[in-house]
Every structure is written in C-alpha cells, then in structure tokens.
Amino acid sequence: MTDIESGDIERRAIDVIRGFAMDAPHAAKSGHQGTAMALAPLAHVLWSRIMSYDAADPQWPDRDRFVLSAGHASILLYSMLYLNGYGLELDDLRAFRQWGSATPGHPEVHHTAGVEVTTGPLGQGFANAVGMAMTERSMRERFGAEVCDHYTFAIAGDGCLSEGISHEAASLAGFQGLGRLVVVYDDNHITIDGPTELALTDDAVRRFEAYGWHVEYLGEIAEDLDALEAAVRGAMAVEDRPSLLVLRSHIGYPSPTATDNPHAHGYALFDAEITATKAVMGVPDEQFWCPDDVIEWYRAVGHRGAARRAAWTDRRLALTTQVREQYDLVLSGGGAEGWSATLPRWTSADKPIATRVASGNCFQALLDVVPSLSGGGADLTGNTGTVVKDHGTMSRTQPSGRQIHFGVREHGMGGIMNGMALHGGALPVGGTFLVFSDYMRGAVRLAALSQAHVIYSFTHDSVGVGEDGPTHQPVEHIAALRAIPGLRVIRPGDANETALAWIEAVNGPGPTAMILSRQNLPVIDGVPADAVSRGAYVVPVDHASGGVAPDVVLLATGSEVSVCVAAAAELAAEGLVPRVVSMPCWTNFEAQPADYVESVLPAGVPCVSVEAAVTFGWSRWADVSVGIDRFGASAPGDVVMDKLGINSANVAQHARALLGRK
C-alpha cells in the first residue's frame, strides 16, 4: 500500500466522497458540489455507523429510511449508493446528470435503487420524512416491533426550512410526537443569492422547540465523526418527540477558494480548484479516485445488514398466518379479495346525493377491506368526505388511529401523504376544497412524478359552491390538475360513478384526484361497471333508440352530466336525437382503442362539451364548449350556475346553434 492507502480508512472514505462531489458535477459541467463536500462526514457516519439497511435488498420493509431533502446535493446520495453496493457503478457517477443515466440531477424514487423519495423542490423531502415516520409508527403499533422497528433520517438545508411546506410538516410532526424522526439541519449560512442573512435570521432552535421538537445545536462538529455519531444516537434515544440537530457546516470545505462561498452552492470548482482541494486533502489528483480497499470496506458495510434482514424475515414468518397476511396486505396498499363488493350502490329511487357525500360513504365502507387506507382533511374533514369512524384518530397516544387531522396545512398534507405512501404500508387520503389544491400543487406534482399511491378528495368543485364567492369557487383548477402527467383526475357525474372512481383509485398505480361536488346530484341508473376505467361512456338515457345515429353529442363531467340529461330531453322533444356522454376521466378515455372511442364519440357527429369550469382543453373532444372562462360570483350556488350559463336551456341552445337550427 502507498502512504495514502495505509491511512485511516474512514478518513479516506470521506475523501473519496468529497472527490466524487467535485468530479461528477465537473464532468457534467452542471450540478451542486459544495453541500455534498461539506456533508461527506455526516453521510459517512449515517451510512457506516448508524443506519440499518441491506444494500442487497433496497426494498426490505424494516430498513431505516434516508431522505435527502436538500436534493440538489444528489451526488452525495449517489456516492453512498455506489460505495455501499446498491448497484451503481463508477460509470454511473461519470454519467451524472446525463440522458438516460441512473444519476439524474435530483434523486428520483423508482429510478435509482436506494432512493426513497423524489426530492429537489426544497422542503418536500422534509415533509416526506414526516410522512414516513408517521407510517412507521402506525405499522409498529399495529403489528409490533418484531416486524416494524426502524428510523427515518433526513438532511435538510436552509432552503428546506425556509419553504412554507417544512413549517406545516414540522408543526404536525411535533404535535404527533414522532420520536423515530431525526432531521439534521445543514446550517451552512449559504443560499444561491448569498449569505442567508440576506433574508433569513430565524432562530431555528427556538422555532422547532416551539413546534414541540427535541432540538440540539451541535455547532462546529461537521468534521468530528465520533461527535456526529453521538449526536445522532442521542436523538434516536428521544422516543416522544422528533429531533432536529442543527449542524454548522461550511459549504465547499475543504476547498481553499470555495469554502463558505455562495458560488459553491452550485458548480463552482473547476480544474484548478479541484486540483488545489485534492492537494489539501492529500489524495491523488485523478478523477473519480477510489482505492480498492475503500470500496471493499464500504461494500462490507453495505451488506452488514444482511443478518438483521434475515432475523427480520424469521420474525415475520413467526407471525400467525392471519397477522402475517394482514401485514402483507397493508404493505401492498391494496384490498382484500373481493373488496370492491363492499362499496355502496345507489339507484334513481334514492334521493340526490352530493358526490363528496357518496365518496365519504365509500371511504368508510372500505376501511376494513383496504386496511392500508387512512387519512382526513386539511381542517375540512367533514366537508370533504374524509371522516373515519370507529378506527381511532392518529395521535401520539394512539399512533395506529386511521383518522388523520392534518390541520390547515394543505401543502404539508400533500408532502406528508407522499412520504406515507412511499414508505409502504399506507394508502393515504387527503381532502380539501378544489380551489385550495393550488396550495398543495407542488406536492401533487411530485406525487405524479413519484407515482406515489395517494388519493385526493377535492370537493366543492365548481361555482356551485355559491355564496363564498369567487375566492372559493374553482374554475381553472380541473384543467390545471389535468395538465399534470401521471395524475389520474376523475370527476364523477353521480354517486355510482364515485364508487367506481374509488375502484380506480385503489387499484390504479400512482395518485388519483377525485373532483367532487358540494351540491346534490341525481343518481344515474345503469352506469356500466367500466364507466370510469374506460374514461367515458354513453349515459343510458340515450334518446337514440333503434340504432339511430345521434344528431348531436352532449359531453359532460360531474354535476353537468345531469344538466345534459335535461338538455337532451328538450332536444328530443323537438325531434332531434341527442346522445349524452359522461367523461369522468380524460386520461382513461385517451388510452382506449379507437373503436371504443368511435362508439362513444362518433366521428362527424357534432359535439357540445359542458363543464362548470374553464373550457381549456375541451376542443380536443368538442366542437363547441359551454363553460366558465371567468371567475365566479357570490350568490346561492344554483343562481351562480344559472347566471353563468350552466343550465339545460343554454346547453340545448348551443346544440341547436351547432346544428344550424333556430
């Protein structure tokens, strides 16, 4: 061995991580070097001394979770995954931020083995970590520490704690008393614009103490491995509160030119700076330097958890058959055999019912047969159909309660739900008014990007909200949600479509947004079982009898389906042959074969779309659209709908005009 190779193995391992942190962004001519350099000792301590995991099985359910909320420092995480043997190779680090690589600019779950959540938008990972800790605690309470006994660790930066989502999530975490959550705050005093003091003088210690967290200011120990380990282990011993460890680090360390320099937040170290920094570190000036003994040592560390995983497997098998099957079912996020048969059904003889109420009935009916379901509202639990009866309320004294009161924290709720789902063992439901989906859009977008299995109950879906006025009346929100790739948006037209929407939400991958009415809607008889899975169908009040082709199609979603049924009756009385089509889910309909699309929306037949929202996007399906391309107004809901043209007379008139009739 050379003198370099015979030195302290841990220190050289940290030097390797710092070398990767400089070399990979330099190879890409893009990326963030400084934070990863400064936090190399912390990452090393977590992955080699603290965390329980087995790199051979990245999905082992009882592994500790690691969340890099400061996702711009992704090369730090990729370095650990490579060193520990998760499947990354040096060529993957060399391909950092390149097309098709396993090492994208920010960590992406399901893309790179060992990445738990998709992070980058600051504060989101913090909220994800809270959700993961909530699910771990619930599973431990329900099934015992024999099969669920792990921690959630997160690294957050100044940006994470500045973003509002982290405040919301931290507040709820403190209220819940999540003792298995340990967050290290990288207090490096640097943002992109310059020193944090340009815009931030918060006292994080006092703020988090006010949230109910256990907080320690660690000071200048970023290079002291033993002190870092002692601090983390001390936080792990606090069982009744989440912990925040405030670590004063120095971005870009040990660069002689970039340490504590705001430019080190991004790509700041080039050839000369990297050479100078490696000289300070005393390592060879070669790209992606990694001596064999370091990689061998780390690979041994990465598989050290194999024995713990094997012991966990034995304990799981020792559970009774009934408990083990329930545990596996909860982990899967799915339903027991025949679960959908428990959903309620309605007929036209029943009283009209709001789809938010019908959805709430479905949610309650599924709790026993889809045991991973849990959730509630952002202080709108009763309003959004997210009440959970007879299954307890989640709290520090009842961790397994399945009613969750998220409080007035829409964005925090969204981020927490993502963490709950991606942890495994929870199918979270979160409710708020549709107009407030704007408050949580960042988390909804990441749910779609992550394909997190979550369900949103977005209610009060139109100007039918009424007297609250335009501030509470959504008009552009459905279109905005439909624009998110990978988000299944369903706006059911009645109670039975709502029940079918729940089947889609539970069975389908990724997130589902159910858009639900406040006002009561008549029940449609004969809704086919595949009405929502196919995305659109001919409502069985079709006036085209005897195989006669329709003169015009009236196409609608949600509460406007019944408006079209009434308009069709007017047109039929005039001798026309109208067809009513309900399209609860655009994306599902788009995926149908051409012959089915033609059977629902025949080519060449004039089509009028009707939705109490902006008409944006409807031109794909319709020749003319009845909608609301303006903000609403304060008045009773039926009055606002009528004044803004969402009525059968206006729909019928648009159909006549399209057909050239008076």
Catalytic site positions:
410
Please give the Cα distance from 75 to 71 (Å, whole number). Answer: 9
How does 142-173 read in b/e, with b if 16+ C-beta sit within 10 Å? Answer: bbeebbbbbbbbbbbbbbbbbbebbbbbbbbb
> C-alpha dihedral over 297, 299, 301, 304, to 10 degrees?
-130
In a 10 Å sphere around its CB, with 0-12 CB exposed, 13-18 middle and 19+ buried, how is residue 288 labelled? middle
Find all residues with CB under 8 Å of 182, minimum gap 6, and list them. Answer: 151, 152, 153, 154, 232, 235, 236, 242, 243, 245
In degrees to the nearest 10, what's the CA dihedral of 31, 33, 36, 41? 160
Which tokens in the block code for residue 136?
Answer: 């771990």
Backbone angles phi, psi at 385, to 5 degrees: 70, 35
Burial-class residue 407 by CB neighbours within 10 Å (0-12, 13-18, 19+): middle
d(CA 389, CA 386): 10
SS3 readout for 19-59: HHHHHHHHHHCCCCCHHHHHCHHHHHHHHHHHCCCCCCCCC
Side chain identity, residue 246: V
Burial class of residue 588 (count of CB atoms within 10 Å of its CB; 0-12, 13-18, 19+): buried
